[in-house]
Amino acid sequence: MIARRRLQSHPRIVFRPRNEGIRCLSKLSAISSPLLKRAESLAIEHTKLSHQIQHGYDGNLTKRIGELAPISKAWEQWASANKSIKELQEILQDPTTDPELRPIATEEIEQSSLDLPKYFHALQSSLIPRDPFASLPCLLEIRPGAGGSEASLFVADLLRMYQAYCKRHSLHYTLIKLDAETATKASSAGINEAILEIDTPGAYDRLKCEAGVHRVQRVPATETQGRTHTSAASVLVLPSFPDQEGDAAGSAEFGTDDPTSDFYINPSDVRTDVMRARGAGGQHVNTTDSAIRLTHVPTATTVSIQDGRSQHKNRQKAWRVLRSKMAQMRREAREEEKAALRVSVIGVARMGRGDKIRTYNWGQQRVTDHRSGMTVGRLADVLEGGETLDGVMESVKGWQRERDVEALVADEEAAAKKEGAGRRKAS
């Protein structure tokens, strides 16, 4: 106890009590030098802006300070822990250090080292750029892939799964498009296309991990010899935003009138076709010109909506879906460009929405996510949108955070190399 008090009173040491909640690690986590430099520069910027804002309110400064606050806090914790360890190591290396202090210092180094992984992950997470669409609602589009009618039946299964997930998490949703194969209920028929609008803020950030190709392996009801067939369905998760007519403030916020915005579409680039609704659905089908088809001519992107009886409402829905698709396409184009650069620099790539992301195996009653590598055996609970699906989605989000950190490190290292090459050329 006397030795502990003496170590605590040492002028170069800040005593840190034991944290029993953090498990022992054999190695300290490492973080790249470019990433540390970026974190330090952002923390310095936060300090300067915090002093500057004291002389008068400024909305833009306040917003920037709020963005930098998590980074500044994480950097201070990381730097403080590293400084504490360095000072303790210097005391151990000092031949004049009291022998009674050495075992205490060693113990404190081990304890301080246990805090590093926590600060390390906090610093990494704070540096990952926030998705610009994270706070938005979303559109979830499901289409059949390879597999014929069995793929259409699988679309119906996925639609019910996401509807159940939304109900369990109290996420308000609306089925804005349902193109079923027959006039019977979707529960007993295949679906050619379904679009679910989940209008709860933050739904895009929550569900974007579901975008990609979902594969199913099972024996179809029409299979007489018991052979397992493989089919697929594609899930597209798009950011959604307020109607331009219904929410002027939302329109200004997301820049639907700004040519530099991801949400902007030049009306002259869009061809509008008005037609009569087709298929089963009610008296308005085949009797009124309520169906709308929008075609973005430069990209050949087409959206058709005929679910509502009002042509005006169908037009609003079609424009909302088209803007969401264009915003997502533009963002993905930028990500692909960055991914190509990362591959050339460090070999970091990303999994696109066209890759197989998950397999649902009926015979083995299991679900495997091919991104995180997680396999679960409760297939029924997954398809019911239960807690097992939550676990799979969380594993994917963890996998995505790791990829984001790798991409961030690659970007910082590429920038450092470019800066170094520029200095050498200048000299």
pLDDT at 182: 53
Which range is most confident: 94-108, 230-244, 366-380? 366-380
How are strands ordered across the β-sheet holding 270-275? 270-275, 291-296, 301-305
Of 102-111, 212-221, 257-266, the range with the lowest mean pLDDT is 257-266
Answer yes or no: is pLDDT of 151 > 70: yes
pLDDT at 89: 85
pLDDT tens digit sequence for 227-237: 888 999 999 89
Answer yes or no: is pLDDT of 249 > 70: no
pLDDT at 398: 86
Half-sphere CA count of 354, side-chain side, radius 13 A: 2
Answer yes or no: is pLDDT of 44 > 70: yes
pLDDT at 347: 38
Answer yes or no: is pLDDT of 265 > 50: yes
pLDDT at 253: 54
Model confidence at 25, pLDDT cuts 50, 70, 90, reads very low
Answer yes or no: is pLDDT of 146 > 90: no
pLDDT at 358: 95
Q: Which residues pair with 197 in a beta bridge?
A: 139, 174
Q: Which of 229, 167, 159 is nearest to 189 (CA)?
A: 159
pLDDT at 24: 36
Answer yes or no: is pLDDT of 287 > 60: no
Answer yes or no: is pLDDT of 278 > 70: no
Q: Which residues pair with 194 in a beta bridge?
A: 142, 178
Model confidence at 257, pLDDT cuts 50, 70, 90, reads low
Model confidence at 245, pLDDT cuts 50, 70, 90, reads very low
pLDDT tens digit sequence for 161-170: 999 999 999 9
Answer yes or no: is pLDDT of 117 > 60: yes
Which range is most confident: 46-50, 81-85, 166-170? 166-170
Model confidence at 279, pLDDT cuts 50, 70, 90, reads low
Answer yes or no: is pLDDT of 268 > 70: yes
Q: Which of 277, 281, 276, 278 is nearest to 184 (CA)?
A: 281
Answer yes or no: is pLDDT of 295 > 80: yes
pLDDT at 344: 42
Residue 427 tokens, joined = 């000299």
Percentage of the chain lying above the pLDDT 70 cut: 77
How are strands ordered across the β-sheet holding 229-239? 173-180, 191-198, 138-144, 229-239, 212-218, 356-361, 366-369, 375-376
pLDDT at 100: 81
SS (H, E, C) the chain: CHHHHHHHCCCCCCCCCCCCCCCCCCCCCCCCHHHHHHHHHHHHHHHHHHHHHHHCCCHHHHHHHHHHHHHHHHHHHHHHHHHHHHHHHHHHHCCCCCCCHHHHHHHHHHHHHHHHHHHHHHHHHHHCCCCCCCCCCEEEEEEECCCCHHHHHHHHHHHHHHHHHHHHCCCCEEEEEEEECCCCCHHHCCEEEEEEEECCCCHHHHHHHHCEEEEEEECCCCCCCCCCEEEEEEEEEEECCCCCCCCHHHHHHHCCCCCCCCCCCCHHHEEEEEECCCCCCCCCCCCCCCEEEEEECCCCEEEEECCCCCHHHHHHHHHHHHHHHHHHHHHHHHHHHHHHHHHHHCCCCCCCCCCEEEEEECCCCEEEECCCCCEECCHHHHHCCCHHHHHHHHHHHHHHHHHHHHHHHHHHHHHHHHHHHHHHHHC
Q: Which of 88, 69, 70, 74 is nearest to 118 (CA)?
A: 74
pLDDT at 14: 39
pLDDT at 256: 64
pLDDT at 427: 67
pLDDT at 36: 79
> In this predicted model, which residue has the larger pLDDT, 280 or 277?
277
Of 37-46, 98-107, 228-237, 412-421, the range with the lowest mean pLDDT is 412-421
pLDDT tens digit sequence for 189-206: 789 999 999 999 999 999
Q: Cβ-count burial of 260 within 10 angstroms (0-12 exposed, 13-18 middle, 19+ buried)? A: exposed
| pLDDT mean across residues, the chain | 78
pLDDT at 21: 31
Answer yes or no: is pLDDT of 352 > 60: no
pLDDT at 411: 73
